[in-house]
Chain A
Amino acid sequence: MVTKQVVTIIVLAAILGLGINLFSPHKISYVGQYRPIIAGSGPIIPPEAVSEDPQFIGVDVAELAFKQKSTIFIDARELEEFECGTIPGSINIPFDYLPDDDLGKYFDSALGGNAKDHPIITFCSGSECDLSLHLARNLQAFGYTKVSIFFGGAREWEKTGMAMERRGECGE
């Protein structure tokens, strides 16, 4: 009897959930396209990524770019988190505090006047954080052509055993 009741509730919920989704303004596909997150097996691509987005790279590509010293790494988190621990040599452009006006000039200045085709990698905390994606989209919109997103972020970087740069205290 208990099993029957449990099955009844689940079946009813499935009928309602799957049925109402057909007509919902917030309808989603029944089978999502989510990439399993396994460090080291390639880039992590978030569910909200679209085909026009800059390319996503894995920790191996980020590490190679870091060793070649040919790429600007941009930490998109706020200053406190940046100072708590980041990829060494990164610059900080907190996405949440971007100016409303003259964003193009702001990017040019923050990136030290580097050419628009200079390789750039954006990152934030890790797969739980989408600031790197939003920052990369903005950089791309303002003409930067070689932007990549390291969605594994500082967390995957640190887990891989790569050095972190700590510039300040870690707050709560």
Chain B
Amino acid sequence: MRRVIDNDLLVLCVRLGVGVTFIYASFYKIIDPGAFAKSIWYYHLVPGDLINLIALILPWVELLCGISLILGVLYKGTVVLVNVLVVIFILALSTTIIRGIDIGCGCFKAGMTATESAWKALVFDLIMILFTLQLLFSRSKRWMLASFKVTS
């Protein structure tokens, strides 16, 4: 198991895959922060005063994380941040599904508990966290612009 987790090539592929996903995910949010703010509002989880600030900052966090993962700079901090973000996304989606809020198409149907889109996103994030956890526990340091030596 340890050999798989530390496999340099596998770690590189995961870094590229997760990195590109984060960059892609940040793109439309950076282009249209107003629409993203509304999406956050739909979750009913964040105080109203903070929604726009989160909508402006979070996409850039995602973009920088994606770039840092691919390049291998600020690496350990990026990996921790990516894991925290994925856990937050999973919790947000889970509470949304439990409360029966339709975040996908805005067309709640009485009697239904959640939309297919929320479930799909949750499954995607649950798969994603397997990869991000691998990055967290892997000791591979190859193909990075900056090596990481974590002392704390």
Contact = CB atoms under 8 A, between A and B. Distances in A.
Interface of A: 1-6, 8-10, 12-14, 16-18, 21, 24, 26, 28-37, 46-48, 77-78, 81, 84-86, 124-131, 153-155, 158, 164, 166, 170-172
List 8 A-B pairs, minimum CB-CB distance, nearest first: A5-B77, A85-B110, A34-B48, A125-B108, A13-B60, A32-B52, A17-B56, A13-B61
Interface of B: 30-34, 37-38, 41-42, 44, 47-49, 51-53, 55-61, 63-65, 68, 74-78, 80-81, 100-103, 106-112, 116, 149-152
Contacts of B64: 9, 12-13, 16
Nearest to A10: B61
Contacts of A84: 109-111
* Residue among B33, B55, B65, B75 with max Cβ neighbours from chain A (10 Å): B33
A13 B57 contact: yes
A9 B53 contact: no
Nearest to B59: A17
A30 B33 CA distance: 11
Given A28-B33, A32-B41, A32-B55, 18 more contacts: A2-B80, A4-B77, A9-B65, A9-B81, A10-B81, A13-B60, A13-B64, A28-B55, A30-B52, A32-B48, A48-B38, A125-B108, A127-B42, A128-B42, A129-B107, A129-B108, A131-B106, A154-B108
A158 B110 CA distance: 8
Nearest to A32: B52
